[in-house]
A and B are shown apart, each in its own frame.
Chain A
Amino acid sequence: MSADATPLRGSVAGWFAPVVPEARVAVLRSVLYVFVLLDLHLLVRDPIPLSHHPDLYRPLLLARVLHLPPPSLPLAWTLYAVLVVGCLVGASGRAPRLVGWVVAAAFTWWVAIGFSYGKVDHDHLALVVALWVLPTVGAVPGGWSATRRSAQAGWALRCVQVAVVATYFLSALAKIRSGGWTLTSWPESYILTWAIVRRPHGLGQLLLPYPGVLRVMQWFSILAELSSVVVLWLRGRALLAAALFWMGFHVFTVALLYIHFAPTVVCWLAFAPLERLVPWWRARHPPLEPPVPVPSRATRDLARREG
């Protein structure tokens, strides 16, 4: 191995690959593999039923470039089986590179099939990026309680963070682009009214008679999305406040339109000091003390009574 080139804090390389505890990667990997298991059954759960309808399939660019075969029931079931086994092994932390890339490829393919029937969702970007970059860290000795730190771990987490922030910032960019590159056309439109009419839901229906309020909310959300980039440079309490703000944002969109961004939300953990999880748990659940030795007189009494 060549000499250590660990980047300095403050340098460009140090921003892309900060030195952080590897336990963060170990915890995040386990959480995300469990999340993918849920995702298969709750979110992108249609590749198997959609495989019955080859006449509705319109492959994404990715599938055309890689010459992926069109979906079929055997293919969809194989991907499903690979993902279930891969995620279970991956969550346990075994063979992180091999298992990690198999899961990354299988999940990307699975989601691409789900998105090849006309509807593309944008909540899976950070999760897909995370599944591809986290295996690069390789084995983390000690797993969740690892004490080693590395730039390799920092880079993987930074990529996930960038993908999370890109999900917000670039959605603002797409809105500005759709309005002919004007900032005002989207927030001044009736997009929330349109969305609520199509997805009538609790809070949304209450707010439908107040287009002015909805417009204020549109301005608020596009400005929040545009300023989301700042999150990449926040630390400590400011970062916590930003994370809580965005969690609140997602709770609100669920209440308004029943649209959640769960795959993006779970990737916010890439910002969290996950290495504190195990010490925190251990402090609250101390290992049991060795049992008090039973005095020999007591065992003699017991033997006499039972005899």
Chain B
Amino acid sequence: MRPVSRGSLVWRVLAAVALVVLLVNGSLRMEDDAWPFGPMSQYAFSPPEDDTVVITRVDGLLTDGRRVELPLRVETAGISRAEIEARIPAIEADPSLLRAVSDGWVARNPTSPRPVELFLVQDETRLHRGQPTSTSKVTLAQWRVVP
């Protein structure tokens, strides 16, 4: 068996206690910003039975006149839905931030027609007594692509 000195044991126990304290503190008082010592806040909220569920998407009007969804995934647009959702207020204030999606999409779809205008939209699904009823589409921002 490998020996362990008293000092080496003491710092280990203290470090483990510190880890637990930081983690619990994160869950009690901090926000996601404090990662890795923030709260485990995924899905930690309580939607009511008549909530409106929103899904954020980006549509592109292409040079050939079609309006298509530019799927918000790393492999298709270089950025995922969660990142765009997290920046909705910023994009509404400055729609040119949608350039991230058009640049990412053009780089990954070089042979497709380019988007000339981008739309930040949300599908709003209304719940009634916990059952999805109607869905409507709302446009939050739009931006004419500047080459």
Query: Do A and B form a real pair?
Result: yes
**Residues of chain A lying within 8 A (CB to CB) of residue B68:** none
B33 near A60 (CB under 8 angstroms)?
yes
Report, as a range, how many residues of chain A touch the other chain. Answer: 35 or more
CB distance from B137 to the nearest CB of A (A): 15
B44 near A178 (CB under 8 angstroms)?
yes
A61 near B33 (CB under 8 angstroms)?
yes
In the assembly, what is the distance between CA of A162 and CA of B100, in Å? 39
Asked if B113 is an interface residue, CB under 8 A from chain A, the answer is: no
Asked if B79 is an interface residue, CB under 8 A from chain A, the answer is: yes
CB distance from A292 to the nearest CB of B (A): 43
CB distance from A48 to the nearest CB of B (A): 9
**Residues of chain A lying within 8 A (CB to CB) of residue B45:** 178, 186, 189, 191
Which segment of B16-24, B58-66, B138-146 sits at the interface?
B16-24
Report, as a range, how many residues of chain B touch the other chain. Answer: 35 or more
A2 near B5 (CB under 8 angstroms)?
yes
Asked if B121 is an interface residue, CB under 8 A from chain A, the answer is: no
**Residues of chain B lying within 8 A (CB to CB) of residue A19:** 1
Name the residue of chain A whose CB is nearest to the CB of B32: A120
Name the residue of chain B whose CB is nearest to the CB of A123: B42
Name the residue of chain A whose CB is nearest to the CB of B3: A4
Given contacts A49-B79, A56-B97, A194-B53, contact A124 B36 (CB under 8 A): yes
Given contacts A166-B23, A195-B43, contact A150 B131 (CB under 8 A): no
B35 near A150 (CB under 8 angstroms)?
no
Asked if A294 is an interface residue, CB under 8 A from chain B, the answer is: no
Given contacts A45-B74, A190-B49, A194-B51, contact A121 B23 (CB under 8 A): no
**Residues of chain A lying within 8 A (CB to CB) of residue B36:** 62, 108, 124-125, 128-129
Asked if A118 is an interface residue, CB under 8 A from chain B, the answer is: yes
Name the residue of chain B whose CB is nearest to the CB of A208: B132
Given contacts A122-B41, A186-B44, contact A17 B12 (CB under 8 A): yes
Given contacts A112-B35, A174-B40, A208-B132, contact A118 B48 (CB under 8 A): no
B100 near A53 (CB under 8 angstroms)?
yes
Interface centre among A1, A117, A124, A195 (most CB of B within 10 A): A117
A148 near B33 (CB under 8 angstroms)?
no
**Residues of chain B lying within 8 A (CB to CB) of residue A211:** 49, 129-131
Which segment of A6-14, A79-87, A266-274 sits at the interface?
A6-14
Asked if A5 is an interface residue, CB under 8 A from chain B, the answer is: yes
Asked if A171 is an interface residue, CB under 8 A from chain B, the answer is: yes
Name the residue of chain B whose CB is nearest to the CB of A5: B6
Asked if A75 is an interface residue, CB under 8 A from chain B, the answer is: no
CB distance from A130 to the nearest CB of B (A): 12
Name the residue of chain A whose CB is nearest to the CB of B30: A61
Name the residue of chain B whose CB is nearest to the CB of A122: B40
A2 near B35 (CB under 8 angstroms)?
no
A152 near B19 (CB under 8 angstroms)?
no
In the assembly, what is the distance between CA of A37 and CA of B20, in Å? 28
Asked if A22 is an interface residue, CB under 8 A from chain B, the answer is: yes
**Residues of chain A lying within 8 A (CB to CB) of residue B87:** 56, 117-118
**Residues of chain B lying within 8 A (CB to CB) of residue A208:** 131-132
What are 9 inter-chain pairs, A to B, with CB distance below 8 A? A1-B5, A2-B6, A112-B35, A115-B35, A159-B19, A177-B39, A186-B44, A190-B49, A194-B51
* Inter-chain pairs besides A50-B83, A193-B131, 7 sampled, C-beta below 8 Å: A5-B6, A53-B100, A60-B34, A122-B41, A185-B46, A190-B51, A198-B53
* 10 nearest A-B residue pairs (beta carbon): A118-B86, A189-B46, A119-B82, A171-B40, A211-B130, A4-B3, A49-B78, A150-B2, A174-B44, A5-B6
